[in-house]
């Protein structure tokens, strides 16, 4: 493989890492968000727990970003 092709494959892999994390987060937050709203409708004092459960899936995007940076560093792009 030439250097340009290797860099292109690494860039595509980095993009897929972030995209997978973002899609996974969106799918999880759809159900967690609706359950959180249902919880707040019945018990408005539980807003902290609802927000915590909504924030936890965001770590998937952070993990995807870290993996993408590691891929790009390994390929020498950044």
pTM for this one? 0.81
Q: What share of the chain is helix, strand, coil (3-state, %, to 5)?
A: 90, 0, 10
Instruction: For the chain, give the mean pLDDT.
Output: 93
pLDDT (0 to 100) of residue 3: 75
Tell me the CATH number at 35: 1.20.20.10
User: Using one digit for the tens of pLDDT, what is the confidence trace for 11-23?
Assistant: 999 999 999 999 9
In a domain, 65, yes or no: yes
Q: Is residue 2 part of a domain?
A: no
Confidence of residue 26 (pLDDT cuts 50, 70, 90): very high
In the predicted structure, residue 1 carries a pLDDT above the cut 90? no
- Residue 13 located in a structural domain: yes
Please state the domain count of the chain.
Answer: 1
* Cα(29)–Cα(55) distance, integer angstroms: 9
69 lies in which domain range? 8-75
- On whether residue 3 sits in a domain, the answer given is no
Which residue from 56, 69, 65 is spatially nearest to 25, judged by alpha carbons? 56
Evaluate whether residue 45 is within a structural domain.
yes
């Amino acid at each position: 493989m030439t250097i340009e092709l290797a860099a292109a494959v690494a860039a595509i892999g980095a993009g897929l890492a972030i995209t997978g994390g973002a899609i996974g987060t969106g799918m999880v937050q759809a159900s967690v968000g609706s359950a959180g709203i249902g919880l707040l409708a019945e018990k408005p004092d539980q807003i902290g727990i609802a927000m915590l459960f909504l924030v936890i899936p965001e770590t998937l995007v952070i993990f995807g970003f870290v993996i993408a940076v590691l891929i790009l560093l390994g390929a020498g792009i950044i």
